[in-house]
Amino acid sequence: MISSNQVFPWQHTLWQGLMQRLHEDRLPHAMLLTGPQGIGKESFAQTFARAVLCEHLSADARPCGACRGCLLNQAGTHPDNHWVGLLEDKKIIGVDQVREISANLNMKAHYSGYKVVVISPAECMNTQAANSLLKTLEEPAPRSLLMLVANNATALPATLRSRCQRITCTLPAQKVAASWLAAQLGPDHDAALLLALASGAPLAALQMAQGGQTSQRLNVLDGMERLLLNQVSPVSLAAIWLKLELKETLYWMHSYIIDMIRLKSAEHPPLLANPDARLRLQALAEQLNLKTFYDQLDKIREASRLAAGQSNAQMLLEDILINWRVPLKIR
């Protein structure tokens, strides 16, 4: 189990740099932590917030876990530590959430230290919320720290980004990530394969292994093969795939098609996101042309966008699968 106060091995340098600035009282009033999904940005922000509010940092610069501030944080009741995220069944961070924490930042800290606010995922703020936050950033309260956590910083308004000190979180080295992942999962899992499937993001790979998503991945490839062999109809396959997670199904289709484009385009065997399926993907790639693959990518990206709303999932899948099957019939 991952500790709530954990700093992952690939974050040590970043952690030490920020802790040095904390000790020297040189923290900015606002930071933007950005980088790929699945590398621990939220955990890092949460742990750093607890360190800022800890009254007796340990020798290794981690929250001590025993002081008043740490005990309150462990109970989730520290009055100077606030987390703003997506509410249940919501897809945006609304203006009322931001106004509440902005008002809180302008109040005096309860324990004469910092007031800390983490907003994640920051790119989910709607326009009103972002504009409201901008006013807070333009006139920051003393001894306040605002941390925005974003997978896609470019989705934030430039005016917000310009008022935050950007902290770029990068993917860990493959050796470091694989060693950590293997320690979490044990010898029964292929850490290198999981990392490849998760584009090098160790926490995403861990979630994939624990959530059983790897089996869904192969189910999607099975369906794509059966469809091209006329062993199943688009309508029947769409009905089967409805029992799976739509977002994950579209993700794996997208991943497979990208790999097939690589196999179709490269003179030498390329690195693949699904290296264990190379031969199966090669066989599929030989049956279709590049235009078909790029058309499918457009369809899948549009379906992913529509799936975030109230669109009919069955119709989205049927449209993609019919488009996938037609080129083979033409041949």
* pLDDT reported for residue 59: 67
Residues 134 and 223 in one domain: no
The domain containing residue 293 runs over which residues? 212-330
* Exposure on the CB side of residue 298, measured as CA atoms within 13 A: 7
d(CA 117, CA 49): 8
Report the CATH number at residue 78.
3.40.50.300
pLDDT of residue 330: 37
Q: How many residues does the chain have?
A: 331
Tell which of 133, 168, 203 closes a domain. Answer: 168
Q: What pLDDT is recorded for position 269?
A: 67
Q: How far is CA 95 from CA 98, 120, 131, 283, in A?
A: 5, 14, 9, 51
Q: DSSP letter for 36, please.
A: -
The number of folded domains in the chain is 2
Please indicate, yes or no, whether residues 220 and 107 belong to a single structural domain of this protein: no
Give the separation between CA 198 and CA 68, rounded to whole angstroms. Answer: 39
- Which of 187, 223, 181, 224 lies closest to 201, judged by CA? 181
Pair 31, 155 in one domain: yes
Helices 313-330, 234-241: axis angle to 10 degrees equals 140
pTM of the model: 0.80
pLDDT of residue 189: 86
Last residue of a domain, one of 144, 168, 192: 168
State which of 115, 143, 168 marks the end of a domain.
168
- Per-10-residue mean pLDDT of the chain, 331 residues long, equals 71 94 92 95 95 84 88 93 89 92 84 90 94 90 93 93 95 95 90 89 91 81 90 91 85 92 82 90 89 91 79 85 62 39
* 220 and 128 belong to one structural domain: no
Q: Are residues 160 and 223 in the same domain?
A: no
The rounded distance, in Å, linking the Cα atoms of 60 and 295 is 53
Q: Which helix (H) or strand (E) holds 303?
A: helix 290-307
Please indicate, yes or no, whether residues 220 and 130 belong to a single structural domain of this protein.
no
- Evaluate whether residue 119 is within a structural domain: yes
Torsion of CA 224, 228, 234, 236, to 10 degrees: -80
Residue 189 lies inside a defined structural domain of this protein: no
Query: The tokens of 136 are what?
Result: 């807070």
* Percent helix / strand / coil, the chain, rounded to 5: 55, 10, 35
pLDDT of the residue at 273:
87
Output the domain CATH number for residue 238.
Answer: 1.20.272
- Shared domain for 15 and 164, answered yes or no, is yes
